[in-house]
Structure 1
Amino acid sequence: MTVPGGDGGETSSSARNHRRRPEPSPTQRALGLLTRREHSRKELARKLVGRGVETAEAQATIDKLATAGWQDDARFAQSLVRSRAAVGYGPGWIRAELGTHGLGAEAVSAALASFEDDWAGVALDLVRRRFGDAGPLDITQQRKAADLLLRRGFSIEQVRIATRRE
């Protein structure tokens, strides 16, 4: 069978297939994902299976990569805590998100404990970004700020600190 080529000539089907890249191995697929950002075991397995890798083969690949240090749930959790805190999410929200990644309560607690910043300071930074350096000026703005912080997973005490007027 011949297929029209881009130069007006005809190209055989076998010649066209010869130019294709070989299908990446499950390890290559996983490494491609891990070089972009950290992934939890659960997330990496879901993505590999979604790309056509058998479940057992995906688990074996992840085990191999974890042993080699390429995949680490603790490192993933710490990375997620830092990135979410940087955009203004509190520990409650982050704890819930880490839970969706199949991490146990101990791993989640350890990741949150490793956060070196002050959660009240993160809340205050978010309030300042939303309401300006002066912060919420009246009771209506204070309520809006408090609602925002509570939705973002901050504790009542962190909300009080971030919304009080100086």
Structure 2
Amino acid sequence: MTSNSGPSLRERALGYLARREHSRQELARKLAAYTEDEDEIAAVLDDFQKRGWLSDERFSEQVVQSRKGRYGSLKVAHELRQKGISDSLTEKAVAMMVQDELETARAVWQKKFGEAPRSREEWAKQARFLQGRGFGFDTIKRVLKSDPDEL
């Protein structure tokens, strides 16, 4: 379905990759808007992978680097799965984040709240915020330095 009226599928793919890293699934979805020929899309993506221009591993590393200071490993893992990254690459990316997760959670919490919760309601509010940012319950309990039942 490639026509003379616009850039070729290959040129479009290069344009997307020139702006930022993409996962294979994400780039395939974007290219599908321009052709119904799945074999043509697969051929372009295979060629790009062979040349090293398209890499799910590099994409997952880039996502980790850009999200590391603001989000927890659970949120990043979910995002990577949504973008079609394999479980093994997702686990590798999460392992990179887990080392600093408590420190990151404390920094995110400090910026938003700055003081320990004084009631169960405040504790729940702060915990929901951290949970929404992708931090696990064990990390949340350590950041808030208490259990809600102690309040």
CA offset at residue 153 of structure 1? 2.0
Does structure 2 retain, via aligned residues, the 8 Å contact 1:48–1:58?
yes
Amino acid at match of 2:65: R
Say what the alpha-carbon RMSD is for the aligned residues: 2.1
Q: Corresponding residue for 1:39?
A: 22
Alignment of 1:161 onto 2:117: no
Alignment of 1:49 onto 2:29: no
Does structure 1 retain, via aligned residues, the 8 Å contact 2:75–2:134?
yes
Say if 1:116 and 1:138 are closer, same or farther in 2 by CA, change over 3 A: closer
Does structure 2 retain, via aligned residues, the 8 Å contact 1:82–1:115?
no
Structural mapping, 1:15-164, within 5 Å:
23-52=6-35, 54-86=37-69, 88-115=70-97, 118-132=100-114, 135-139=115-119, 140-164=121-145
> Could you list the runs of 5+ residues in structure 2 that have no partner in the other structure?
147-151
Q: Corresponding residue for 1:4?
A: none
> Could you list the runs of 5+ residues in structure 1 that have no partner in the other structure?
1-20
Aligned residues: 142
* Deviation beyond 2 Å, 4+ runs, structure 1: 51-54, 114-117, 139-143
Counterpart-to-counterpart distance in 2, 1:122 and 1:33: 31
CA offset at residue 137 of structure 1? 4.3
Worse-matched range after superposition: 46-55 or 56-65: 46-55
CA offset at residue 53 of structure 1? 6.1
Does structure 1 retain, via aligned residues, the 8 Å contact 2:64–2:97?
yes
Q: Corresponding residue for 1:8?
A: none
Counterpart-to-counterpart distance in 2, 1:117 and 1:83: 16
Does structure 1 retain, via aligned residues, the 8 Å contact 2:131–2:137?
yes
Does structure 2 retain, via aligned residues, the 8 Å contact 1:123–1:162?
yes
Does structure 1 retain, via aligned residues, the 8 Å contact 2:73–2:98?
no
Counterpart-to-counterpart distance in 1, 2:27 and 2:79: 16
TM-score normalised by L of structure 1: 0.76
